[in-house]
A and B are shown apart, each in its own frame.
Chain A
Amino acid sequence: MRRIALAAGAVLLSAAQAQTPVLPLRVADITGEAGPCGPLPPSAPAGQKAYFDLLAERLQTDVLNCPMADAATAAVALAAGEIDLARLDGAAFAPVAGKTRNVLTVRAAGALNRIPVVVAAAQGAPFRTLPDMAGASLVFGGPLKASLDVPRRALSDYGADEAFFGPQTVARDYDEAAVRLRAGEAQAMVLHAGAWQKLCRGDHPGEDRCQDLRVIWRQRPVADQAWSVRTDISDDRRFRLIGIHVALHNEAPEAFAWAVGRAGGEEFEPTEAQALLHQGPTVGS
């Protein structure tokens, strides 16, 4: 009898360990007024209801609404484990960056991904970092968004706006930009990472066409807001959250419109863990 009871206990314990109940998802709703987490009230907007219903169905758990006064309060609550998902800005995220991470941002309609930008110069160039480049002449790798707008935005995010540099020209494409740099017509060349890769990748085994050049700076534009989770979130939940959100605009447009929180969003885009923060020295810092 005792043996049976012990065996029964072991089975129950083992089952309890194997079948960890799914935790609810507590979503911050920054309303200006704090309140306890709970189910959505019947008066909730249809888009918010659609968003919560979809998350509940796909994560197979309860999704709770957590009214928050502001993003900073939401960030503290996220780090403390009181909520699980919050849209933060850089100022709110910075103090809790050790315990939380960014997972998603929104790509605006007609905008590009947050593509990395490369600033390169000749091996013997006198500058080593972006802040060293005050007054340096630049050549951009083309007039398109990816080759001009995104690089300018990324540089500006790090404090290096147009006024920081010297004369700036725009080449027809990355090949021409490299020719101008090598001819000494500019002190540095600014390309998006894809163009840099194309420029430097040779057509013969092991060939590197950029051995005479040096990367001074390589960064993505800083995100202005990002959906964030705790760093101890399980891979399963993090990737499922990302997988649900990146397809939200296709699968549930009304939910997507509410979730992005502002007009003009085209789709959710995954992010690196600290997309809201500078990843290196900024000009003037």
Chain B
Amino acid sequence: MRRRSGAILAAIGLGLAGCGGEAKTTDGAWQSQMREVRMAVRGSEDDPMITRRLTAYKTYIGKATGLPVKLYESSDFNGTIQALSSGQVDIATIAGGGYANVDAQIGDLAQPILTVRQAEGDTGYYSGLLVMADSPYRSIQDLKGKTLGYVDFNSTSGYLFPRKMMRDQGIDPDTFFGRSSFAGGHTQAVMALDNGQFDATIIQAGGGDPEHGFTTGAHFTMARRGVVDLDDFRIIWTAGPIPNSAIVVRTDRPQPFIDAVRGAMAALPYDDPEVWRDIGQPDGAAYTAVTREHYAPIIKLRAEDIAARRSGVRQ
């Protein structure tokens, strides 16, 4: 009896092995490896409603992948960077400077897969030097010896890129300004300027260009929420374009997951334009596939900046 039972169990085993061997894989195999999708999102940005609106996005990605989606909210730049670098999350939306930081930590274990291509075909945005409209400052030269607010050490448009452009224009940002400090975020930078903490602050500016003006950025979002009045501010200097933020994935996740999530996100503006708008993306824009090469200039820039700081050349 025992021998016959053993034979049946062995047959079951062989049967299962046979099932597994006949098909190269099975539908749903990668989902059982992943069990859930963990996405990092920035919270407390210029629009606190964004997290609530991300519910529809979460539902869309969940349906597309067949997995529950968990959003991990981080209130600062470094939180998202470390969550992705440590593998606590599978995927994150992250600016070029943040991706450069991740790349420096884990290299090929993270890969940018998509970025936004605007209706006009551009894939970049700008840094703006913002001052109060009633201030006497008309150009960056007027700010010699004055106080400047940066966004965050890991911010591309709020630190890394504009400093490079200043140096290219003969301005050493470490000595030109009287004092500079980090506000901690784009919203905080605008608030600090509005409160008189800085004479000028660096912010992100998008949805346009220096010639035609901008329509997106922290001060626009804050104005639409009634927190500030746009007429109180002026942009006196710009730097860019800077490569748009990337969707970055961990490459040690199953390739079918990477393909599925890339496909679902790329299809979003066509499949569900309302969700596309809900996550703050402009009409007419869409995702386009990118590689590490797209961010190579930012990666180089960050490496140079850190090397200069370590050598004591820069503050």
Q: Which A residues are closer than 8 A to B by beta carbons? A: 1, 4-5, 8, 11-12, 15-16, 18-22, 58-62, 103, 112-113, 115-116, 144-146, 173, 192-198, 201-205, 207, 234-244, 246-247, 249-250, 267, 269-272, 275
Contacts and interface: CB of A to CB of B under 8 A. Distances in A.
A195 B285 CA distance: 11
A112 B19 CA distance: 47
A16 B23 CA distance: 11
B104 to A, nearest CB: 22
Given A19-B19, A267-B288, A272-B271, A240 B27 contact: no
Nearest to A116: B284
B134 interface: no
Interface residues of B, number: 65
A235 B272 CA distance: 14
Interface of B: 1, 4-5, 8-9, 11-12, 15-16, 19-20, 22-29, 31, 63-66, 113-114, 117-121, 207-208, 212, 215, 220, 223-226, 230, 255-256, 258-264, 266-267, 269-271, 282-291
A193 B270 contact: no
Contact of A116 (B117, B212, B224, B283): B283
A240 B224 contact: no
A201 B224 contact: yes
A244 B23 contact: no
A128 to B, nearest CB: 23
Nearest to B273: A116
A270 B266 contact: yes
B27 A203 contact: no
15 contacts: A8-B12, A18-B26, A22-B23, A22-B26, A22-B27, A113-B286, A194-B120, A194-B283, A203-B230, A207-B224, A239-B65, A242-B264, A242-B267, A243-B259, A270-B269
A203 B230 CA distance: 7
Given A19-B19, A21-B23, A243-B261, A235 B284 contact: no
Nearest to B272: A272
A61 B23 CA distance: 8
Nearest to B31: A236
A134 B118 CA distance: 32
A241 B15 CA distance: 31
